[in-house]
A and B are shown apart, each in its own frame.
Chain A
């Protein structure tokens, strides 16, 4: 009798194919990004009719006025946009209860308004950074969630949008 040759050639091990497929899946999971909305967050004051007017001392308000030409007036004095950051920082340091009120003209350009708002946010961010370095010895972004909340509570962002004079 002939000895029959064993059937079937050499096989490629296919056990790790699944791993390759997983790798593919993980790659696509990581590489997929959805566009995240970024911007400057703000909370509007409630509608004027529903709440009673809260009296705030004049000395606790910093009035920022942006006129139609894009000029910025801080408490009646003309300043440039890059100056806002330092000026507001010093003002808040002098008076931690300071509320910054922004008023714009109807003809003011939106991009100028965002620039001013950005400067204000930068000022507040600087103050928070300073506070967290002083208190925790770390940068704000390296703090724990609780510590960040504490810093936020300590230096709240008090930006108020002034009531417009006339509304369409």
Chain B
């Protein structure tokens, strides 16, 4: 009696045609789940330029304060008054003790407003600051 070989005659193949679809699904998943926080900046400002600048490594720590050329101050998405800064920053510091406050101040501002903001930051104990500047070429 002759035994019939039941396997080994053809190589089993995994269908690979749908692999790209799997990868695309991955791409789509990441695209959908990524959220980018975008601020709606309501003040107009032009940053000053400096040569000895450094990058802030940790973006999560940064909290921004904008000061426009008309002297209006914006934190997060709201225009705030000078005297509100202490409370807002104090709350931010409680949420995140290592907060870095990045000051995006128009280059034509006077130092008076900068000092006022700094005094309030000191009161709120948010001491790590960064003067946001552009790279001077």
- Which A positions have Cβ atoms within 8 angstroms of B? 14-15, 17-18, 20-22, 24-25, 28, 34, 36-48, 66, 104-111, 113-115, 117-118, 121-122, 125, 161, 164, 167-168
The answer to whether A106 and B111 touch across the interface, beta carbons within 8 angstroms, is yes
Give which listed residue, B26, B50, B54, B132, contacts A115 with CB less than 8 A: B50
- With a cutoff of 8 Å between Cβ atoms, the chain A residues found around residue B127 in the complex are 43-46
Query: How many whole Å from A125's CB to the nearest CB in chain B?
Result: 5
A93 to B17, CA, bound (A): 69
Smallest CB–CB gap between A140 and chain B, Å? 12
Q: How far is the CA of A37 from the CA of B61 in the complex (A)?
A: 11
A40, B110: Cβ atoms under 8 Å? no
Interface presence of B123 (CB below 8 A): yes
Query: Do residues A117 and B50 form an inter-chain contact, with CB atoms below 8 A?
Result: yes
- How many Å from the CB of A141 to the closest CB on chain B? 12
Name B111's contact: one of A18, A20, A105, A118 (CB within 8 Å): A105
Chain B residues within an 8 Å CB radius of A108: 110-111
Which of B20, B59, B123 has most chain A Cβ within 10 Å? B20
Contact A41 B128 (CB under 8 A): yes
What is the distance, in angstroms, from A124's C-beta to the closest C-beta of chain B? Answer: 8
Closest A-chain residue to B25, C-beta based? A21
